[in-house]
Structure 1
Amino acid sequence: MKDKTLLIVTTVPETLMTILATQPGFLNQSFKVHLASSGAGEMQKLSAREGVPVHEVTMQRGMSPFRDLVSIFAMCRLLRKLKPDVVHSYTPKAGMVAMVAGFLCRVPVRVHTFTGLIFPTQTGVKQKLLINIDRLICFCATRIVPEGRGVKKDLVEYSITRKPLDVIGHGNIAGVDLDYFRPGIDEVDDKSRALVAALNIASTDFVFCYVGRLNRDKGLKELGLAFKALPDTARLILVGGLDSAAPVDDATLQLFRDHDRIHVLGFQADIRVALATSNVLVLPSYREGFPNVVLQAGALGKPAVVTNISGSNEIIEPGLNGWVVPSKDAYALQVAMAQAMVTPKVELEALGKFARSRIAERFDQAAHRVRMKDFYLQELGLD
């Protein structure tokens, strides 16, 4: 197997540094793995950690036809040099660049994973353009992998491709490290107690936690409106940096900064501390592929309030490990959060225990990596 070369492509190295962390290193035991992404700053660090070569191919997020052509030509040069047996892309721009280049260079196995679809929430000309880009990706790929059942449903309903669409396992692209994300780690608990003291959180307070970019499509406007209507014992911790490409509206951002019971922590390298400090995760997104933070919170024994969208509704089952509400509905979100606050402690703990068991059963990182190895072997005809 080591004579087969696998090239994994993402638009930015952050995906490889966080979500896909250590997966390339594992796969390198069976294949000759190479990575390609934008951003020279992280390349050496990424290569050293994974133990595989990393190549820079500049890719511009957003719509930029001329720069996209430059990126495709640069990817073609890399493919001619490496001659991979498999090229696998994640994220939209990497998909377009890698699949078109892979098609032109006749890479035998060309896989794209749709980790989340943008076009269902768009309208008009922009939606048509995004649909056509995704159709181009699918045309050039030999195998299409939807990250979850919801993504698969949208690909079918919008007639993006007629090629087979099979979710790997129960969905998600990486799984969860159940040892890293587990309750009762002394270091995490110590830092959590320090955070509680720093934020002056009382033992009678109920703490919600949001983790993600401060992006307008994450439902933060509705979260702000819902939180304002909750009792004074409610607290909200926000973890994540401001997304300059699609920022939260000014009024919501001002509310987050001014409200004395909302705590904006910014980007945190270790989100376990904030999650350990909270009672319930809240993720009111308008769209997701398959949200890792809901899996991670569940592994830590935290139930979640999520919106009824792809990915989130594939993880959370009302009454078992959390609450599911309509997206863009601040009142429904407020009602669910209020219900969480009055849930007896023993019931809340039961929800958390089920959440942990469900993640262990379906989304264990170790099991997912084996599935990925088997997937590549199957695509190569070596299973």
Structure 2
Amino acid sequence: MANSSVGLYNFRFELINKLIEQGFEVCISLPESAEDRNVKLMINAGVKHIQTHINRRGMNPIEDLKLIKEYKRIIRNINPEVILSYTIKPNIYGAFAASKCKKPLIMNITGIGTSLMNSKSKQLVIKLYKYACQKSKFVFFQNESNYSLFTSMKLVDYQKTKIIPGSGVNTSKFKPVNTVKQDNIIRFLFIGRLMKEKGIEEYLNAAKNLTNKYPNVEFQVLGPFEEEKYKIILGESKYDRINYLGISNDVRNEIVNIDCVVNPSYHEGMSNVLLEAAAMGKSLIASNIPGCKEIIEDGYNGYLFEVKSVTSLEEKLIRYINLDNKEKDLFGENSRKKVNDEFDRNIVIGEYMRAINRI
């Protein structure tokens, strides 16, 4: 159960293939239809697809009750041996439904999001997560901070938890590509949904300031518009070195042509954007938050800056701009080494198979 075909295909497809290889029948519950590109790829691999309506960001109780009923209907029809859930609504409402149907569920806390930051909904979400964790058979966390939060608040029994290195990264798919630089332009890239919480405002403000000061820098933006105002902001941009690239079916095509990936997000589970860029041997700059600081060692393979601070971000961007080419190359080499040692996706798949086999 997941809330996006993009996340399921990009970050869990190797696990799906492993389950199919082991003789499991795999069904996926997603909001996208069978015509969606990523859904088609998973169906072609041998999965059964069930379209399930999910309003990812809404807090409408009637819609959410409908989702619980839909999950219960799906579980009763499929009669699964085990259920895997990702992201907040599939986690919480999937656990409700699985419990009612007496089926084991393995939950993955991919990040705490705004639900545990926003005071209006915080107490409600805490209660819902506590119930869901109690009803889950096993709970994976993607970083130490989220794990500590849940265990300190007694939302989950630590004995049925495990911290994994995010979603891991496919180091065979994402790998360095030797290219010859045709100019002296330093290219930065933001990858993500265009919304305030992803830090797009800080990125654009820093980009505007630095393109005025440095003639040899370019800032790129890649991803869908989650909030419409950014479509207007980027559409009206008068800066010829701030470029919106649209949406990509394979981010390797964009990552290969840049020098450094920037992730100014306010919160992360474990940043897949940084992991994939690191695996391709790129330098990294990101907010000093859980889910980013595990991937970046400041001064080793990139820089960390103060979250929500344009000034701090600019300082680190300038520091990177002033590095010589050998220092930039070393950052990239160190990124690849760190991913190989700590974040290979096979580590995550192994932990899932162990949990599934125990059940």
Q: TM-score, normalised by structure 2?
A: 0.90
Q: Which moved more, 1:320-329 or 1:120-129?
A: 120-129
Matched with 1:332 is: 312
- Of 222, 226, 241, the residue aligned with 2:224 is 241
Alignment of 1:1-383 (within 5 A): 9-30=1-22, 31-42=24-35, 45-61=40-56, 62-107=58-103, 109-119=104-114, 122-164=117-159, 166-169=161-164, 171-173=165-167, 175-184=168-177, 203-230=183-210, 231-244=214-227, 247=228, 253=234, 257-378=237-358, 380=359
**Runs of 5+ in structure 1 lacking a partner?**
1-8, 197-201
Q: Which amino acid aligns with 2:166?
A: N
**What's the CA shift for 1:90?**
0.3
5+ residue gaps, structure 2: none
Q: Secondary structure at the match of 2:339?
A: helix
Task: Using the TM superposition, name which of 145-154 and 285-294 deviates more.
Answer: 145-154
2:285 alignment partner, SS class = strand
RMSD between aligned residues: 2.3
CA–CA distance in structure 1, aligned partners of residues 217 and 289 of structure 2: 25
How far 1:51 moved relative to its partner? Answer: 0.9
Does the CA contact (< 8 Å) of 1:91 and 1:113 recur in 2? yes
Kindly provide the CA deviation profile for residues 211-236 of structure 1, in whole angstroms up to 9, marking residues without a partner as x.
11111111111112222232222110
Q: Which moved more, 1:305-314 or 1:22-31?
A: 22-31
Q: Which whole-Å CA distance do the structure 2 matches of 1:137 and 1:57 have between them? A: 20
Deviations 1:133-169 (A, max 9, x none): 3223213212221122122123234443344363344
Amino acid at match of 2:335: A
Q: Distance in 1 between matches of 2:281 and 2:91?
A: 34
Report the 3-state secondary structure (helix = DSSP H, G, I; strand = E; otherwise coil) of the residue aligned with 1:32. coil
| One-letter amino acid matched to 1:111 | I
Equivalent position amino acid for 1:83 in 2: N
The CA deviation at 1:372 is: 2.0
| CA shift for structure 1 position 29 | 1.9
Whichever residue aligns with residue 16 of structure 1, its letter is: L
| In structure 2, C-alpha distance between the alignment counterparts of 1:57 and 1:361, rounded to whole Å | 37
Contact 2:11/2:169 (8 A) holds in 1: no
In 2, Cα distance between equivalents of 1:142 and 1:121: 22
Percent identity, please.
Answer: 24
- Contact 1:220–1:252 at 8 Å: present in 2 too? no
CA–CA separation in structure 2 for the residues paired with 1:218 and 1:248: 14
Q: Give the aligned residue type for 1:313.
A: K
